[in-house]
Amino acid sequence: MSHFDLEECFRLESPIHCWEARARVLSILVLIFSVALAGDIPKALAGLAVALLLIVISRLPLDHVARFMKWPALFLLPFVIILPFTTSGDPLFSISAIAPSAQGLSTGLLFFIRGLAAALLALLIVATAPFTVTIRALRDMGLPGSLEQIFLFAYRYIFLLNEELTTMSRSMDSKGFIKRSDFKTARILSLSLAMLLIRSYERAEEVFLAMISRGYTGTIHVGSRREIGMDDILKCFLVLSAAIGIQAL
């Protein structure tokens, strides 16, 4: 499964998938902020445990979830590696002049755990419902109409551009183009990206004109939303309690 095949996960059935969209998005957003602002490692670990529990409940394939976590882990790892050597404090061990500090390691690990837990929860928002449903929920919670439309159009164009990019890369490969660390590669990439933009722009224009001819005036009507039930409120209560609990630990 690639990053563009998240829609496969929408078909899964779980208590998170059937949670009303507004309640789900708002509760998980609050939990993300609580986890990302956890003040110490025990609190951050509690946040990570809650995030993992929600992932398990959502029945998302764990190997795919692990693949999605590659980037945050890669971005956060430098803090764990570098901070022990740049932060003053009690040395963990000492080999000649090298003495990593416990305080530095603690800060690095705190960033790492908080970041990973927040990334897991962000994935949970988009992997448990179609993107249009999530954006509609945000619109109901005050997202401006213009931003809602940019989100919806951009989401669709991503698939279009990715398809075009794949075709273009294949075509360049078949003509013997090899990426090197040189000016020529950068120049060829610039022309390819510009051509990609032009082709997609022309298609976007055609789609826009077709939409106007079908009565588009600047608003998109997405399907009706369902009412919030008692089970949705109960799930909100549990997740928000966890968010408060992490801060109160």
Partner 1 sequence: MVHISDGVLPPTMLAAGFVLTAVLLYSSLKGVKAEEIPKISLITAALFVASLVHFPIGPTSVHLIMNGLAGILLGRRAYAGVFVALTLQAVFFQHGGITVLGVNTFNIGLPALLAWQIFEHRRGLKTPRREVVFGGLAGGLAVLTSVLMVSLELLAMGEEFREISILVIGVHLPVVLIEAVVAGGAAGLLVNVKPEMLSGSRNRTSEVH
Residues within window 108-147 making contact with partner 1, judged by CB under 8 A: 110-119, 122-123, 125-126, 144, 146-147
41 makes contact with partner 1 (CB under 8 A) = no
Which residue's structure tokens are 């005036």? 217
Among residues 41, 151, 228, 238, the one that binds partner 1 under rule CB under 8 A: 151
Q: Give the span between the Cα atoms of 153 and 151, in whole angstroms.
A: 6
Binders in 66-105 for partner 1, by CB under 8 A: 68-69, 71-72, 75-76, 78-79, 82-83, 85-88, 104
Residues 89, 105: contact at Cβ < 8 Å? no
Select 122 or 238, whichever has its Cβ closest to partner 1. 122
Q: Of 141 and 193, which has the nearer Cβ to partner 1?
A: 193
Q: Cα angle at 33 between 78 and 70, to 5 degrees?
A: 35
The runs of H, that is alpha helices, within the chain are 7-10, 21-36, 41-58, 62-68, 70-86, 102-127, 131-140, 145-174, 183-213, 230-248
Nearer to partner 1, 190 or 241 (CB): 190
Q: Which is nearer to partner 1, 8 or 231 (CB)?
A: 8
Q: Are 138 and 110 contacting, i.e. CB atoms less than 8 angstroms apart?
A: no
CA–CA separation, 226 and 126 (whole Å) = 18
Of 163 and 231, which CB lies nearer to partner 1 in the complex structure? Answer: 163
Q: How far is it, in rounded angstroms, from Cα 35 to Cα 46?
A: 8
Structure tokens at 7: 């829609």
Q: How would you classify residue 144: left for phi > 0, otherwise alpha for psi between -120 and 50, otherwise beta?
A: beta
Name the segment binding partner 1 (CB under 8 A); options: 55-63, 90-98, 152-160, 231-239: 152-160
Per-residue x/- track, 172-191, partner 1 (CB under 8 A):
-------xxx-x-xxx-xxx
Region binding partner 1 by CB under 8 A among candidate stretches 11-19, 55-63, 157-165, 236-244: 157-165
How many residues belong to the site for partner 1 (CB under 8 A)?
Answer: 83
CB of 89 to partner 1, least distance (A): 10
Token pair of 16 as six digits: 């998170």
Residue nearer to partner 1 on the CB measure, 42 or 229:
42
Per-residue x/- track, 220-249, partner 1 (CB under 8 A): ------------------------------
